Amino acid sequence: MNTPAVRDAALLLLRVVLGLVFIAHGWDKAFRTGIDATVTDWTSLGIPQPRMSAWAVSVVEMLGGAMLVLGLLTPAAGVVLALDMVAAFYFVHLDHGLFVTEGGWELVLVLFAACVTLVVFGPGRASLDRALSRFG
């Protein structure tokens, strides 16, 4: 059952779900929890340049997530979002164990792995990358 159509459908599902999760987390930092509260939290965590970092991460997650949903510049978006998860792992979740309910790193690990998967396998045929490619 490993046909190109099934592979492309799985990549589309992965891109859309992953993109929506990143958009939601970026939106939360910027508008729901708010930048000021995010800056306060990140200051207490020792994140460098917490205000600039909060805005940068919020924009990266919203824009990168949207790019994944559309399948636009997917490998680049995947790399940037994977690096975002490396930073989240190091600065926020490393010392809290595995489980997300305890502030752990399970979610960032899964998001990182999903981003790497899209970098390696690409967006699939149902993507703007494919539609805009002269060779696809």
**Nearest residue to 129 via CA among 76, 84, 91:** 76
**Nearest residue to 85 via CA among 30, 39, 33, 26:** 26
> Which pLDDT value is given to residue 118?
97
Give me 100's structure tokens: 């997300």
Tokens 């909060």, residue? 54
List, for the chain, all residue ranges whose pLDDT scores fall below the cut of 70.
134-136
Residue 72 DSSP SS3 = coil
> Which pLDDT value is given to residue 28?
97
DSSP secondary structure letter of residue 73: S
Between CA 67 and CA 24 the distance in angstroms is 14
- The pTM of the full predicted model, rounded to 2 decimals, is 0.94
- pLDDT tens-place string over residues 75-101: 999 999 999 999 999 999 999 999 999
> Which pLDDT value is given to residue 113?
98
Between CA 113 and CA 72 the distance in angstroms is 19
> Which pLDDT value is given to residue 60?
98
- C-alpha atoms less than 13 angstroms from C-alpha of 42 in its C-beta half-sphere: 23
CB 111 within 8 Å of CB 22: yes
Residue 63: CB atoms within 10 Å = 16
What residues does each domain of the chain span?
Answer: 4-132
> Which pLDDT value is given to residue 136?
52
